């Protein structure tokens, strides 16, 4: 009886491990990243009439997609690997954007003590205390990580210690995001109310609208995405990653083996929020605005659709899904704007029913069949 119990206790928990990170896959990733890195040069160096010229609009659009891909990858760390479905990651994305936007608003009025334009419009006489030191870019960039990270840590600490899981956790995250959106809509909060932050002019002394600056922001976003991909790869293939997948697949059994899942969940939850905040911070200067609508529950649900479409628990899948869904959104909203929400709903249903493992799962099946045919 004792031997049977011991054997059961040490039986490894089955989990899905990434299979698309073999050397050939990394070569393909680097080649794709290299192609994307060259695109801004085709905008800067080639004349407009050249057939290979890439427009500034395309660079800005791809920069947005890269930021969305980073946010999707952050969500995949908690949903795909730890089994924590968040419907509130839009909050962390927006907090990072607001933290960076505070610096951009101060940089637009570089004179000491001068109020940002929206504060003058709202008849404010003093800069709020929480705006202190935001004129310094280094402090603002620290806030980009600390603001969403602190909110996620406090919320996650109480939620995970209370063992709130499943659909209940998802609903609470959505409620948190919605409450934050209502708060930021209020003018007296000091974040611009309904209009938010806009009118950015300078970043680190460079004209934020110049093609060179936009190219720099684009490359920074691409580097951040690659860095997050490497970090995610390192985490998910380590012992920590195996524990996270055990949390996803059999949390009760893991607790029985002597592990306390709350600490592991809190770590990956906080890290995911910080990465999502970084995505929001890179997004804001490229689109030129941040307002409370970025916290809407619909935005958080869209992130879930990105991850599901690409394939959760794969790291690569969310990047593919974010690019695919947002590419379709760009086309639909310009061609058939009134049908986009229907198309998004249909896409989610089709992926759930026909492609439960997403686009990456489909690629895996094709690869396995091809290998089977060869043998």
User: Is 91:97 a contact under the CB 8 Å cutoff?
Assistant: no
Nearest CA among 68, 11, 28, 83 for reference residue 313? 83
Q: How many Å separate Cα 362 from the centre of its chain?
A: 23
The H-or-E segment that residue 290 falls in is: strand 289-290
pLDDT digits (tens, 9 = 90+) for 119-151: 888 888 888 999 999 999 999 999 999 999 999
CA pair distance 13, 139, nearest whole angstrom: 43
pLDDT: which is higher, 24 or 58: 58
pLDDT band at 374; cut points 50, 70, 90: low
Residue 18's pLDDT is 46
The H-or-E segment that residue 285 falls in is: helix 261-287
Residue 220's pLDDT is 97
Write down the number of H helices and E strands in the chain.
14, 4
CA pair distance 12, 224, nearest whole angstrom: 34
Answer yes or no: is pLDDT of 9 > 60.
Answer: no
Residue 21's pLDDT is 60
Q: What is the mean pLDDT of residues 73-89?
A: 95
Q: What does each C-alpha distance from 21 to 28, 29, 148, 212, 264 come to in angstroms? A: 10, 9, 29, 33, 24
Nearest CA among 58, 93, 59 for reference residue 75? 93
Q: What does each C-alpha distance from 170 to 159, 186, 297, 300 come to in angstroms? A: 11, 25, 11, 11
The H-or-E segment that residue 203 falls in is: strand 202-203
Tokens of 256: 């029985």
Answer yes or no: is pLDDT of 7 > 60.
Answer: no
User: Is 75:272 a contact under the CB 8 Å cutoff?
Assistant: yes
Q: Going by C-beta distance under 8 Å and a sequence separation of 6 or more, which residues neighbour residue 266?
A: 153, 156, 157, 160
Answer yes or no: is pLDDT of 79 > 70.
Answer: yes
User: Is 187:122 a contact under the CB 8 Å cutoff?
Assistant: yes
Residue 315's pLDDT is 93
Ramachandran angles phi, psi of 206, nearest 5° = -100, 145
pLDDT digits (tens, 9 = 90+) for 171-227: 999 999 999 999 999 988 999 999 999 999 999 999 999 999 999 999 999 999 999
Answer yes or no: is pLDDT of 10 > 70.
Answer: no
Whole-number CA gyration radius for the chain = 22
Q: What does each C-alpha distance from 119 to 122, 190, 191 come to in angstroms? A: 5, 8, 9
pLDDT digits (tens, 9 = 90+) for 15-46: 444 445 667 777 888 899 999 999 999 999 99
Q: What is the mean pLDDT of residues 88-92?
A: 96
pLDDT digits (tens, 9 = 90+) for 328-362: 999 998 888 888 888 888 888 888 888 888 898 88
Nearest CA among 4, 14, 1, 3 for reference residue 246? 14
Q: How many CB atoms lie within 10 A of CB 293?
A: 16
pLDDT digits (tens, 9 = 90+) for 229-288: 999 999 999 999 999 999 999 888 988 888 899 999 999 999 999 999 999 999 999 999
Tokens of 242: 């195996």
pLDDT digits (tens, 9 = 90+) for 301-311: 999 999 999 99
Write down the pTM of the prediction: 0.91
Answer yes or no: is pLDDT of 291 > 50.
Answer: yes
Q: What does each C-alpha distance from 218 to 86, 274, 288, 324 come to in angstroms? A: 27, 19, 14, 19
Mean pLDDT of the chain: 89
Q: Residue 18 has what DSSP assignment? A: -
Q: What does each C-alpha distance from 338 to 31, 93, 108 come to in angstroms? A: 37, 26, 36
Residue 375's pLDDT is 59
């Amino acid at each position: 009886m004792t031997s049977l119990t011991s054997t059961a206790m040490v039986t490894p928990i089955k989990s899905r491990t990434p299979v698309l990170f073999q050397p050939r896959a990394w070569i393909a990733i680097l080649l794709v990243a290299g192609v994307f890195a060259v695109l801004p040069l085709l905008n800067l160096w080639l004349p407009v009439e050249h057939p290979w010229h890439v427009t500034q609009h395309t660079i800005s659009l791809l920069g947005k997609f890269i930021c969305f891909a980073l946010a999707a990858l952050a969500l995949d760390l908690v949903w795909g690997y730890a089994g924590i479905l968040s419907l509130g990651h839009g909050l962390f994305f927006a907090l990072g954007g607001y933290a960076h936007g505070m610096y951009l608003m101060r940089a637009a009025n570089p004179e000491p003590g001068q109020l940002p334009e929206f504060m003058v419009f709202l008849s404010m006489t003093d800069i709020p205390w929480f705006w202190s030191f935001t004129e310094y870019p280094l402090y603002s960039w620290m806030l980009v990580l600390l603001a969403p990270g602190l909110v996620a840590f406090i919320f996650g600490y109480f939620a995970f210690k209370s063992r709130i899981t499943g659909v209940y956790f998802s609903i609470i995250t959505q409620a948190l995001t919605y409450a934050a959106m209502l708060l930021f809509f209020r003018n007296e909060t000091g974040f611009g109310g309904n209009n938010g932050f806009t009118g950015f002019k300078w970043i680190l002394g460079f004209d934020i609208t110049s093609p060179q600056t936009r190219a720099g922001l684009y490359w920074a976003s691409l580097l951040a995405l690659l860095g997050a991909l490497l970090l995610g790869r390192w985490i998910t293939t380590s012992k920590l990653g195996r524990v996270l997948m055990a949390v996803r697949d059999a949390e009760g059994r893991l607790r029985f083996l002597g592990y306390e899942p709350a600490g592991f969940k809190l770590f990956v939850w906080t890290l995911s929020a910080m990465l999502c905040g970084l995505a929001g911070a890179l997004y804001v200067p490229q689109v030129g605005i941040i307002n409370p609508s970025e916290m809407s529950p619909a935005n958080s649900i869209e992130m879930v659709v990105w991850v599901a479409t690409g394939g959760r628990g794969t790291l690569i899948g969310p990047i593919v899904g974010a690019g695919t869904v947002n590419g379709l959104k760009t086309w639909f909203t310009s061609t058939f704007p009134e049908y986009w929400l229907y198309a998004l709903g249909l896409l989610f249903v089709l992926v759930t029913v026909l492609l439960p493992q997403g686009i990456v799962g489909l690629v895996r099946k094709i690869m396995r069949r091809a290998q089977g045919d060869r043998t």
